[in-house]
Amino acid sequence: MSDINRAVKGTNDVLPEESYKWQYVEKKMLETASLFGFKEIRVPVFEHTEVFQRSVGDTTDVVQKEMYTFDDKGGRSITLRPELTAGVIRSVIENGLYNQSLPQKVCYIGGCYRYEKPQAGRLREFHQFGVECIGAAAPAADAEVISLAHSVLTNIGLDNLSLEINSIGCPTCRAEYHKALKAYFEGKKDQLCETCKERLDRNPMRILDCKSPVCGDIAKDAPVMINYLCNDCAEHFEAVKAQLDVMGIGYKVNPTIVRGLDYYTRTVFEFISGDIGAQSTVCGGGRYDGLMQQMGAPATPSLGFAMGIERLLLVLNNLNKEIGDQKPCDIYIAPMGEKAGIKAAAVCSALRKEGFIALTDICGRGLKAQMRYANKIGARFSVVLGDDELASGIIRLKDMKLGEEKEISIDSIAQCLK
């Protein structure tokens, strides 16, 4: 097969027999977020490259290795978004939302793009649902956002979940931690990959997130941030845990969680599924109190999370969970002749206005072919419309599942479908 008829590597078509599952999951996500006061925001699929360099961090794998970056016809460097938080924050700043009543609570669904090795539940084009809570500094905000993530996951049908949390501190206590990390990795510098050798001076925490197995093994015995927290960060973390305890949300403190993006501060968290194998993280997020200021706005405490929709659907499919319901065709009207075709189109139009899925022939097929089609699409009812039916105004409504028929007036179809 030629490339013109093949999807680009790392992308995936969502076919009609699968799209209803996406619609079901996305609807659940948005409905659950609305219960917590979050409203949808939509931002462009590409941004100025600097948006991601300044926010995600130029020492991360995302910026160094994975972004789709190009110059547009005006010579501007443009990047397809590798994640949505940076673009949302850019929009919040540009539109002055941080000057309105706080907190600003926004949620989103959209595609992201990273040039990495495709794997189960993660493609080069993948889709995320996420939320951002702008202007909330209290530990209660951390717990509420975590509670929202937990509610979304359980509402779409996941139950074998575990929550892991950590605190990666603030710039004040992180400075001491960086010194300890640098001292630890300096003695093993020769074993690090070339990328991590560069990170050692610029941002040693990024070594903890390296995908190289060698660097990963070295990092296992590295100092952990939670032992270097200042008093304010330690108190904040304890208050978050107390809030989760009150909510009845179980958790495990995992001091190795740092998340893959540079903008995180203090609380970070991940939800792990026990039903997906190696790629088990189905949601990740945390606090990023310095990001707004880093992007040129006044300092504004903020936090959020994102979850990959493909990965969630993979878990649900693996569990054979029923994902929504694809509504079948309510009625198929099979016309015989030109006049019947015109009447069938008029009847279908009227039924659609009342919310019914009504179909008729648009291919010029014979009656047998039309009835095969009605069976194939799973129509609930069918009607054959010919000259006799046009003259009398009486039709035979057939229940396609039971095979039963009954005579009704052509004008009473809607009542019979309810």
Which of the residue ranges 113-117, 355-359, 372-376, 410-414 would you say has the lowest mean pLDDT?
113-117
Which residue type occupies 13? D
Domain shared by 13 and 141, yes or no: yes
Q: Is residue 267 part of a domain?
A: yes
Per-residue pLDDT tens for 83-132?
999 999 999 999 999 999 999 999 999 999 999 887 776 799 999 999 99
Per-residue pLDDT tens for 225-253?
899 999 999 999 999 999 999 999 999 99
Which of the residue ranges 205-209, 266-270, 404-408 would you say has the lowest mean pLDDT?
205-209
Task: Give the per-residue pLDDT at 153.
Answer: 96
- pLDDT at residue 59 tops 70: no
Domain encompassing residue 35: 3-170+230-318
Task: Give the per-residue pLDDT at 61.
Answer: 67
Task: Give the per-residue pLDDT at 207.
Answer: 85
Angstrom distances, CA of residue 124 to CA of 10, 118, 128, 309: 5, 6, 12, 13
Task: Give the per-residue pLDDT at 403.
Answer: 94
Domain shared by 15 and 98, yes or no: yes
211 or 43, which is more confident? 43
Per-residue pLDDT tens for 296-319?
999 999 999 999 999 999 999 888
Which CATH number characterizes residue 90's domain? 3.30.930.10
**Partners of residue 345 on adjacent β-strands:** none
Decide: 301 and 127 in contact? Cβ < 8 Å. Answer: no
- pLDDT at residue 277 tops 70: no
**Among candidate residues 318, 345, 362, the one where a domain is terminated:** 318
Domain shared by 134 and 255, yes or no: yes
Q: Is residue 259 part of a domain?
A: yes
Which CATH number characterizes residue 393's domain? 3.40.50.800
Domain shared by 12 and 74, yes or no: yes
What is the number of residues in the chain?
Answer: 418
Produce one character per residue of 266-281: b if its CB has 16 or more CB atoms within 10 Å, e if not.
bbbbbbbbebbeeebb
Domain shared by 62 and 157, yes or no: yes
Domain shared by 312 and 351, yes or no: no
Which of 200, 209, 202 shows the shortest CA–CA distance to 62? 209
- pLDDT at residue 278 tops 70: no
Q: Is residue 193 part of a domain?
A: no
Task: Give the per-residue pLDDT at 280.
Answer: 83
Q: Is residue 213 part of a domain?
A: no
Average pLDDT over residues 251-261: 82
Which of 295, 286, 293 shows the shortest CA–CA distance to 132? 286
**Among candidate residues 289, 318, 347, the one where a domain is terminated:** 318
Q: Is residue 215 part of a domain?
A: no
Total domains, the chain: 2
Task: Give the per-residue pLDDT at 261.
Answer: 63
Task: Give the per-residue pLDDT at 105.
Answer: 98
Domain shared by 263 and 399, yes or no: no
- pLDDT at residue 260 tops 70: no
Domain shared by 297 and 340, yes or no: no
Strand boundaries in 61-142, DSSP class E:
69-71, 77-80, 104-113, 125-134
Domain shared by 353 and 243, yes or no: no
Place of tokens 């919310």: 355
Under the banding of pLDDT at 50, 70 and 90, the label for residue 279 is low
Task: Give the per-residue pLDDT at 286.
Answer: 95
- pLDDT at residue 356 tops 70: yes
Strands 104-113 and 69-71: unpaired
Produce one character per residue of 347-382: b if its CB has 16 or more CB atoms within 10 Å, e if not.
bbeebeeeebbbbbbeeeeeeeebbebbeeeebbbb
| Global pTM value | 0.89
| CA atoms of 319 and 280, how far apart (whole Å) | 14
Instruction: Transcribe 290-324 into DSSP letters.
Output: THHHHTTS----EEEEEEEHHHHHHHHHHTT----
Cis amide bond preceding 103, omega within 30: yes
Domain shared by 413 and 359, yes or no: yes
Decide: 198 and 138 in contact? Cβ < 8 Å. Answer: no
Domain shared by 8 and 129, yes or no: yes
| CA atoms of 170 and 232, how far apart (whole Å) | 9
Which of the residue ranges 95-99, 183-187, 273-277, 286-290 would you say has the lowest mean pLDDT?
273-277
Average pLDDT over residues 399-403: 94
Q: Is residue 84 part of a domain?
A: yes
Q: Is residue 290 part of a domain?
A: yes
Task: Give the per-residue pLDDT at 323.
Answer: 86
Asked whether the CA dihedral 201, 206, 210, 216 is positive or negative, the reply is positive
DSSP code, position 8: P
**Among candidate residues 284, 318, 352, the one where a domain is terminated:** 318
Q: Is residue 119 part of a domain?
A: yes
When the pLDDT of each residue in the chain is averaged and rounded to a whole number, the result is 92
Task: Give the per-residue pLDDT at 209.
Answer: 76
Per-residue pLDDT tens for 136-185?
999 999 999 999 999 999 999 998 899 999 999 998 988 888 888 888 88
Domain shared by 358 and 304, yes or no: no
